[in-house]
Structure 1
Amino acid sequence: MRLLLNQIYEFRKGVRSLFMLTATGCEIAQIRLRLDREGIDHFPHFVSPTKANIFFGRGPWVETAKRIVTGPLNQLSPEEDFILGTLLGYDGEGQCRRYLTRRNRHDDCPPVSERRTDWQGASAGV
C-alpha cells in the first residue's frame, strides 16, 4: 500500500501520467477502492485469479493502456511493448533498445503466412 500512496503522490504532482502496480489477493480490492475514492481512472488486468496488474492515471492514458493490454504482457508485440513502456514513463533510450532487440527476435521468426486477408476479405500481399 505504501508504494500505491507514493505513486498517487507522483500522479498528483504530475511526475507521470500512467502507473502500473502488481497486486495480489485482497490488495486488489483495497487498491481499487482507494483509486475510486481518489477519483483516479484505473483498470485491473488479471494475470491469475489472485494476481493483477492495475493500471491507473489520467483517463486517456489508462484507456490507451486498456486497449493495448488485452492478453499476457509477455505476448505483446514489440510495438505494443514499446508504446506501453513509453506510456509508463520508462527510459526512452532503454525502450528504443528493448524495441530493437524484440523486433530483431520477432523478425527472425518464420512468417505465419505469406498472405493476409484485408478487412473486406480480399487477399493482399504482405
Structure 2
Amino acid sequence: MISSPDILPAEMKVFLNHIYEYKKGVRRMILFTVNRKYEEFAIERLKKQRIDFLVQPVTNTSVNLFFGRPECIQAIRHLAKRPLHMLTPEEDFILGAMLGYDICAQCERYCKRKKNYY
C-alpha cells in the first residue's frame, strides 16, 4: 500500500500518466504491468475514476492491468483468457493494434511469430 500521495514510486507515476492520457483521449486502452504491491492502489484509483479495467496475473509479483474504454476492455475479456505469451499470432496482432502500437511493427511481429508458430 502506498502511504503518501507525495511519495510515489516511478512506476506509479507512469501509471498516473497513463490515466491522464486516457482521460485526455490520447489513448483508448492501456496495458500496464505493475508490481502486486501496488495493485490495490491502482485498482482503487481506476474505480474512483470510473475507468473499466481487467487484471491478469503474470507472475507471483506482478499483474497486467488493462484499462480504458468499456468496449475495449470487453474485447480483452474475450481475447486474453490466457497469458499473453500464449496468444496466437493473430490474437497478439489484434491486441497490439488495440493498444495503438505502430501498425508496421505489428505486421513485422505478426509475420515473425507466424513463421515460428507452426
Q: TM-score range by the shorter chain?
A: 0.7 to 0.9
Aligned residue for 1:104, secondary structure, equals helix
What is the CA distance between 1:63 and its match in structure 2? 1.0
Aligned to 2:4: none
> Which residue in the other structure is 1:118 paired with?
none
TM-score (norm 2): 0.86
Task: Please state how far the C-alpha of 1:25 moved relative to its aligned partner.
Answer: 2.3
Identity percentage of aligned residues: 39
Match of 1:27 in 2: 38
Give the AA of the match of 1:22: T
One-letter code of the match for 2:86? Q
Task: Verify: 1:56 aligned to 2:51, yes or no.
Answer: no
In 2, Cα distance between equivalents of 1:53 and 1:92: 22
Q: Is 1:15 the counterpart of 2:26 in the alignment?
A: yes
Q: Show the counterpart of 2:14.
A: 3
* 3-state SS in 1 of match to 2:81: coil
Q: What number of residue pairs does the alignment pair up?
A: 107
Aligned equivalents of 1:41, 1:65: Cα separation in 2: 11
Per-residue CA distance 1:41-62 (angstroms, 9 max, x = gap): 0010011343200000000001
* Distance in 1 of aligned mates of 2:104 and 2:77: 24
2:116 counterpart of 1:105 = yes
Q: Deviations over 1:10-64 (max 9, x none)?
A: 1011111110111112211110000000000001001134320000000000111
Q: Give the residue type in structure 1 aligned to 2:111.
A: L
Q: What's 1:123 paired with?
A: none
Pick from 89, 105, 110: which aligns with 1:78? 89
Moved over 4 A (4+): none
Q: Which runs of 5+ in 1 are unaligned?
A: 110-126
CA distance in 2, matches of 1:43, 1:50: 17
- Structure label with greater radius of gyration: 1
Q: Which structure has greater strand proportion?
A: 1
SS of match in other structure, 1:23: strand
Under a length normalisation based on structure 1, what TM-score does the superposition of the two structures give?
0.81
Gaps in structure 2 of 5+ consecutive residues: 1-11
SS in 1 for 2:40: helix
